[in-house]
Amino acid sequence: MTAAFLEGRGLVKRFGGLTALAGVSFEVEEGEVVGIIGPNGAGKTTLFNVVTGAVDVDQGELWFGGRPILGLGPDQIYRLGIARTFQTVRVFRGMTVFENVLAGAWFGADSGRTRSEAERHAWWALETVGLRDLAGTVAGDLQIVYQKRVELARALAGKPRVLLLDELMAGLTAREVEEAVALLRRLQGEGMTVVLIEHVLRAVMRACDRVLVLHQGRKIAEGRPEEVVRHPEVIEVYLGSGASAGC
């Protein structure tokens, strides 16, 4: 049996008396689009923080591309090819859109990039997310929805092997959600692996091959989107809590 492309085994993370991850295991195959859903406080962003080296775990294992990666710092994880966006947007507010994205390209997986190569990757990322015409705009002057695109472009510019998206579609219009779903499928078609935390369930249903559901730090369900939304415990703790499936 071959190992998954990205795999966590029995991940435990405590913050004082709070257990944010209670033995979470997961597998992501290369080229998949996998969604992670669950109520607020379920441990979703903590899981991303663990995968990207932002926080240490108390117990468990984490593997990427057949090698253990627990203990590596965020810079090392990024250069291995795992990039992310954040639930709360983090752009370099005083820099232009192009400068933000160039930083991601320059610091990306190909550590030997020349300046011209980094610029080419940056322009490709801006074109991909539809921001080429705003390249000279100061990022902090943009509306949040466009700052999210800047952050996505910055992650893409590093040419990651795995892209982690934390609530990318929050606040988007129905049309913008459909455009984002189409972009994810396009990236998947180009060979990228995507894992997304998302509350917009109509996007999860359309974009994801599989879905993991977390609740109080535990994985309570996993499977194809249409299977997961019918899972009794998912309905009880998530869909039945007032959220709309929006399918």
Residue 186 has a CB neighbour count (10 Å cut-off) of 11
87, 45 Cβ separation under 8 angstroms = yes
Query: Tell me: the pLDDT tens digits for 2-26?
Result: 568 999 999 999 999 999 999 999 9
> Is the domain of 177 the same as that of 245?
yes
> Is the domain of 34 the same as that of 148?
no
> Is the domain of 152 the same as that of 166?
no
Residue 86 lies in a domain: no
73, 154 Cβ separation under 8 angstroms = no
Percent of the chain with pLDDT over 70: 93
Mean pLDDT calculated for residue range 180-188: 95
Percent of the chain with pLDDT over 90: 85
> Is the domain of 177 the same as that of 133?
no
> Is the domain of 77 the same as that of 165?
yes
Give 231's Cβ-side CA count (13 Å radius). 20
Indicate if the pLDDT at residue 1 is higher than 80: no
Structure-model confidence comparison of residues 170 and 69, the more confident one: 69
pLDDT value for 236:
86
Place of tokens 């090392």: 76
pTM of the full structure:
0.91
Domain boundary among 117, 140, 160: 160
Domain boundary among 138, 160, 182: 160
User: In this structure, what DSSP letter does residue 106 have?
Assistant: H
CATH number at residue 39: 3.40.50.300
> Is the domain of 23 the same as that of 138?
no
> Is the domain of 154 the same as that of 165?
no
The domain total for the chain is 2
Range of the domain at 59: 1-81+161-247
Question: What DSSP element (H or E) covers 116?
Answer: helix 115-129
Residue 87 lies in a domain: no
> Is the domain of 36 the same as that of 98?
no
Mean of pLDDT over the chain:
92
Residue 34 lies in a domain: yes
User: What crossing angle do the helices spanning 144-157 and 97-106 adopt, rounded to 10°?
Assistant: 30
Residue 59 lies in a domain: yes
Q: Helix, strand, coil: what percent of the chain each, to 5? A: 40, 25, 35
> Is the domain of 246 the same as that of 200?
yes
pLDDT value for 25:
98
Residue 196 lies in a domain: yes
> Is the domain of 76 the same as that of 116?
no
> Is the domain of 223 the same as that of 186?
yes
pLDDT value for 111:
60
Indicate if the pLDDT at residue 130 is higher than 70: yes
Indicate if the pLDDT at residue 129 is higher than 50: yes
Domain boundary among 140, 160, 180: 160
Supply 246's token pair.
């929006």
> Is the domain of 219 the same as that of 244?
yes
70-102 burial code (b ≥16 CB/10 A, e <16): bebeeeebbbbbbbbbbeebebeeebbbbbbbb
Residue 24 lies in a domain: yes
Q: The sheet that has 162-166: what strands, in order across it?
A: 82-84, 162-166, 193-197, 33-37, 210-215, 218-223
User: Which regions of the chain does DSSP assign to beta strands (E)?
Assistant: 6-15, 18-28, 33-37, 59-64, 67-68, 82-84, 162-166, 193-197, 210-215, 218-223
